[in-house]
């Protein structure tokens, strides 16, 4: 299984800062926290998805969006290609609260084309496990149609919902603005 930490955003809402290089509650960069958590969970390959010069010295392989310019959908397409016949975890770099327990349940969830939790009824496509052979064609069709909404991939592929345990919905909170970082 490969895990892709999505870092490709320009960070405009964060003043151009690379979100994955921000320090989380434990003092580590968000990318370092994800990489350690993933390796500790037994994921064999961890890579960054998307490029930003701030990640040049992180020490992880980088997958460029394919095609570029279509947001996270291009990153998902590239990650699924890299996964080949296996599974891929797609994870947003800016989710500093996801626990090892939630991640482990995602990794061990029953077989499905996609497994993802929902937060407030909405899919979390960048905290999800994808079966590359069953999902790549859906992604490619969506890209060809100019439809880059990740949640539509989950709907079309028939994603299975990872039921959240008490308190886990709060773990899916992400940092999109400076105000999010300041919120406890």
Instruction: Dump pLDDT digits (tens) for 146-169.
Output: 999 999 999 999 999 999 999 999
Position 23 confidence tier, pLDDT thresholds 50, 70, 90: confident
Residue 13 confidence (pLDDT) above 60? no
pLDDT at 152: 96
pLDDT at 150: 97
* Beta carbons of 87 and 132 less than 8 angstroms apart: yes
* Beta carbons of 60 and 31 less than 8 angstroms apart: yes
- At 106, which helix (H) or strand (E)? helix 100-108
Domain that holds residue 125: 2-182
Mean pLDDT of 25-36: 89
- At 82, which helix (H) or strand (E)? helix 72-83
pLDDT at 52: 81
89: nearest Cα among 20, 135, 22: 135
156: nearest Cα among 117, 125, 127: 125
Position 56 confidence tier, pLDDT thresholds 50, 70, 90: confident
Residue tagged 């580590």 (tokens): 28
**Which residues, including other chains, have CB under 8 Å from residue 17's CB and lie 6 or more apart?**
11
Mean pLDDT of 48-54: 87
Position 102 confidence tier, pLDDT thresholds 50, 70, 90: very high
Q: Count Cα neighbours of 26 within 13 Å in the Cβ-side half-sphere.
A: 14
| Number of structural domains found in the chain | 1
For 20-30, give one letter per residue: b (16+ CB within 10 A) or e. Answer: bbbebeeeebb
Position 173 confidence tier, pLDDT thresholds 50, 70, 90: confident
pLDDT at 14: 47
Mean pLDDT of 16-24: 78
The CATH code of the domain that includes 127 is: 3.90.550.10
pTM for the structure as a whole: 0.91
């Amino acid at each position: 299984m490969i895990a892709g930490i999505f870092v490709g955003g320009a960070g405009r809402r964060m003043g151009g800062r690379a979100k994955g290089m921000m320090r989380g509650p434990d003092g580590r960069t968000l990318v370092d926290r994800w990489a350690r958590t993933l390796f500790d969970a037994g994921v064999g390959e961890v890579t960054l998805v998307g490029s930003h010069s701030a990640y040049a010295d992180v020490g992880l392989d980088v997958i460029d969006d394919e095609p570029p310019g279509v947001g996270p959908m291009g990153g998902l397409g590239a990650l699924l290609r890299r996964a080949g016949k296996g599974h891929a975890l797609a994870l947003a770099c800016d989710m500093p609260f996801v626990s090892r327990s939630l991640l482990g349940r995602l990794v061990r969830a029953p077989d499905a084309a996609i497994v993802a939790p929902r937060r407030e009824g909405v899919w979390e496509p960048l905290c999800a496990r994808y079966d590359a052979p069953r999902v790549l064609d859906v992604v490619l069709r969506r890209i060809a149609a100019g439809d880059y909404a990740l949640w539509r991939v989950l709907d079309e592929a028939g994603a299975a919902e990872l039921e959240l345990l008490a308190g886990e919905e709060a773990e899916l909170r992400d940092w999109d603005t400076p105000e999010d970082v300041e919120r406890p």
